[in-house]
Chain A
Amino acid sequence: MSQHHHDHDHDHGDGHGHPHAEIAQTGMPGYYEIMETAVRELLVERRLIGADEIRRQIEVLDSRTPALGAKVVAHAWVDADFRRRLLANGRTACEELGISFYDDTQLIVLENTDEVHNLIVCTLCSCYPRPVLGLPPDWYKLKAYRARAVVEPRAVLAEFGTIIPDDVEIRVSDSTAMVRYLVLPRRPDGTEGFSEEQLAALVTRDAMIGVVPVTLTAGHTAKGALQ
């Protein structure tokens, strides 16, 4: 195998023309990495699962991104009947749109209003509505977010640039067992003429976790402070 020389003048098509360190694993794997590999190899060796099943589940997870959740939110904004069904049973309403739930989790959709702001956290680990949003962001799994979201939610939100007025009630949902949560953000003013597709483009992952509102400039400025 010849060494891959990085001296040809390409930029990966994404402006990625800068020099960088070799992309490679360095150092010894950690304790949990070794344990995961050992368990996986044992399961495959004993024919309890196969490599194809592992790959298939990775493909399932890779097919779920915040774009799905954004479509759900936009559909709820334009279709009052769907919005009612979504708030009554998040899982079956998402399934209506073809979003399958590959596990036994239920989905509760929490509507933000001018009186109530919902915020989602999993203090125990990283429970997250993966069927509709994909993998959680790294900050969602950090102990700082997990602990502080339930102790001082207003301070945490302020660090995301979200100032919640004192007269608005905050509800923090700690997602720890079999229910997952999705925030239905408020539809921003000035979007009356928007198509469902245009609306979906405004809805960010962080807005569906409840750390930022949806705004007309969302997607450009909604990067979390803890990112």
Chain B
Amino acid sequence: MPSQTAAHGGPFAGIVPADGEEPVFAPGDAVRIRTLSPVGHYRVPLYLRGKTASVEAVIRPAAVDNEEEGYGRNAGARRHYYRVAVPMTAIWADYRGNPADSLRIEIFETWLERI
């Protein structure tokens, strides 16, 4: 069994990444988009808060939080955004169309929780 740090990409074992360097979620993970109510600038639309989603992809490289950037704090800690998928039928009870139709959106790590 390779050590966890081998996933970091390099040939050397034992490298410990800093908090936030490695993505917390992986493709296929089931997550919930958190229900937060930030005052002021936000990037997660209201219609998706509290919805269950599955992670489609980790967006690289890690980036600053747009919501912090909105206040000029653009040099802070970086974390990953995730492209997540939510079935349309899970968002709109009366959705008409193929049940496979989905909404895709990028969500910053702090807005997601594992379920």
Cβ–Cβ contact A172 & B103, under 8 A: yes
- A166 x B104 contact (CB < 8 A): no
State the Cβ distance, B54 to closest chain A Cβ, in Å: 13
**How far, in angstroms, from A16 to B70 measured CA to CA in the complex?**
44
* Contact A167:B104 (CB < 8 A) given known A176-B44, A178-B66: no
From 34 to 54 in chain B, residues with beta carbon under 8 angstroms from any chain A beta carbon are 43-45, 47-48
**With the chains together, A177 CA to B112 CA distance in Å?**
15
Interface check A61, CB cutoff 8 A: no
- Give residues 152-177 of A contacting B (CB, 8 Å): 152-154, 166-177
Tell me the residues in window 67-115 of chain B with beta carbons closer than 8 Å to chain A beta carbons: 81, 83, 85, 88, 91-92, 96-98, 100-108
B63 at the interface (CB under 8 A from A): yes
Interchain CA distance A175-B43 in the complex, whole Å: 10
Bound: A177/B98 CA distance, A: 27
User: Are A124 and B102 also in contact (CB < 8 A) when A153-B97, A178-B66 are?
Assistant: no
Given A106-B59, A179-B59, the answer on whether A174 and B105 have CB atoms closer than 8 Å is yes
Which of B63, B92, B103 lies at the interface centre, i.e. has the most chain A CB atoms within 10 A of its CB?
B103
Interface residue count on the A side (C-beta < 8 Å) = 24
Say yes or no: A169 contacts B101, CB within 8 Å. Answer: yes
Main secondary structure of the interface of A (DSSP, over half): mixed
Question: Quick one: closest B residue to A155, CB to CB?
Answer: B96
B98 touching A169, Cβ below 8 Å: yes
B93 to chain A minimum Cβ distance, whole angstroms, is 12
Taking residues whose C-beta sits less than 8 angstroms from the other chain, chain B's interface range is 20 to 34
Give chain B residues whose Cβ lies under 8 Å from the Cβ of A173: 104-105
Contact assessment for B104 and A174 in the assembled complex, using a CB-CB cutoff below 8 Å:
yes
Q: Which one of B59, B96, B98, B104 lies within 8 Å of A172 (CB-CB)?
A: B104
List residues of chain B with CB within 8 A of the CB of A175. 106
Contact: A151 with B104, CB < 8 Å?
A: no
Picked from B45, B66, B96, B108, the residue with its CB within 8 Å of the CB of A174 is B45
Minimal Cβ-Cβ distance residue in A for B99:
A169
Indicate if the CB atoms of A177 and B81 lie closer than 8 Å: yes
Given contact pairs A123-B47, A153-B97, A178-B59, enumerate 20 new A-B contacts (beta carbons under 8 Å): A106-B59, A108-B59, A153-B88, A153-B101, A154-B97, A167-B98, A168-B98, A169-B98, A171-B101, A171-B104, A172-B88, A172-B102, A172-B103, A173-B104, A176-B43, A177-B43, A177-B81, A177-B106, A177-B108, A178-B81
Return 11 A-B CB contacts under 8 Å, by A number: A154-B96, A166-B98, A168-B98, A170-B97, A171-B85, A173-B105, A174-B48, A177-B43, A177-B108, A178-B66, A179-B81
- Please list the residues of chain A having a beta carbon within 8 angstroms of any beta carbon in chain B: 104, 106, 108, 123-124, 150-154, 166-179
Chain B residues within CB distance 8 Å of chain A: 43-45, 47-48, 59, 63, 66, 81, 83, 85, 88, 91-92, 96-98, 100-108
